[in-house]
A and B are shown apart, each in its own frame.
Chain A
Amino acid sequence: MNVNVLAFGIVKDIFGKSSISLDIDGTTTADLKDSLERQYPRLKQLSSYMVAVNNEYAQDQCVLTEHDEIAIIPPVSGG
């Protein structure tokens, strides 16, 4: 399915823009991560990253829909 993914921090540098549209194999957050890492291998070099769905951190088994607001959250460094 096709999803829009927002990018922040270093992920914006990795994607080259602040949001991307991509087709993923599968429907879960884990599937999204696999698809993203195949297209943007630099993601694997990060210390870690999380996926947020509708402003909440999402686990790997979270099922996504095309209407969800999905964001990649690289290691946070606020404060």
Chain B
Amino acid sequence: MSTQITISNKPLNIESCIDWVMSPQSGGIDVFIGTVRDSTKGKSVIRLEFEAYEPMALKEMEKITAQAFEKWPVQKLLIHHRIGILEVGEVPVIIAVSCAHRDAAFEACRYVIDTLKQTVPIWKKEIFEDGEVWVAAHP
């Protein structure tokens, strides 16, 4: 299989994602790793909480990977998204792409994370010392 898309509440493993996406025909692998930042707009973030509408999120991620395969000569593409409680420094998402040449790998990887952030029904809530906010919910 040339795609691997998962949603899990367990810690993600960067090395195994890279191992999976490697192939003898690939000359370049691009990896995007999302990480939990310790602050937002000057406020300290204690942790993030992620929630997903899982069946639809998987479906939307499949659509994104199908588009990526159509636009670029991708060999293998992986999206791993974690949900649940994540502390600062933890990894909520890994995107890994392998292609014969690096231009396509860079572009496809960028496309996947940019599109995921627009269309996939997953949400994060920032937890501060003095409250919590669902990101992007209000103008």
Q: Give chain A's interface residues, CB within 8 Å of chain B.
A: 6, 8-10, 13, 45-47, 52, 55-56, 71, 73-79
Give chain B's interface secondary structure class.
mixed
Which residue of A45, A46, A78 is within 8 Å of B117 (Cβ)? Answer: A78
Q: Are B117 and A9 in contact (CB under 8 A)?
A: no
> Which of B56, B57, B93, B125 has the most C-beta atoms of chain A within 10 angstroms of its own C-beta?
B56
**Known contacts A9-B123, A78-B120, A79-B92: A73-B57 contact under CB 8 Å:** no
Report the separation of the CA atoms of residues A9 and B116 in the bound assembly, to the nearest whole angstrom.
17
Q: Give chain B's interface residues, CB within 8 Å of chain A.
A: 34, 50-53, 55-57, 59, 81, 92-93, 113, 116-125, 134-139
Report the separation of the CA atoms of residues A78 and B79 in the bound assembly, to the nearest whole angstrom.
12
Q: Are B117 and A76 in contact (CB under 8 A)?
A: yes
Q: Are A52 and B116 in contact (CB under 8 A)?
A: no
Enumerate the 3 nearest inter-chain pairs by beta-carbon distance, A residue then B residue, closest first.
A78-B122, A9-B123, A77-B135
Q: Are B137 and A75 in contact (CB under 8 A)?
A: yes
7 new A-B contacts at CB < 8 Å, known A8-B51, A76-B123, A77-B123 = A9-B137, A47-B136, A47-B137, A52-B121, A56-B56, A76-B121, A76-B136
Q: How far is the CB of A44 from chain B (nearest CB, A)?
A: 11
**Known contacts A9-B134, A79-B117: A74-B123 contact under CB 8 Å:** yes
Q: Are A79 and B123 in contact (CB under 8 A)?
A: no
Report the separation of the CA atoms of residues A1 and B123 in the bound assembly, to the nearest whole angstrom.
30
Could you list 30 A-B pairs, sorted by A, with CB under 8 Å? Answer: A8-B51, A8-B53, A8-B121, A9-B51, A9-B123, A9-B134, A10-B134, A10-B137, A47-B139, A52-B53, A55-B56, A71-B53, A71-B56, A71-B121, A73-B56, A73-B121, A75-B136, A76-B117, A77-B117, A77-B123, A77-B124, A77-B135, A77-B136, A78-B50, A78-B52, A78-B81, A78-B92, A78-B122, A79-B81, A79-B122
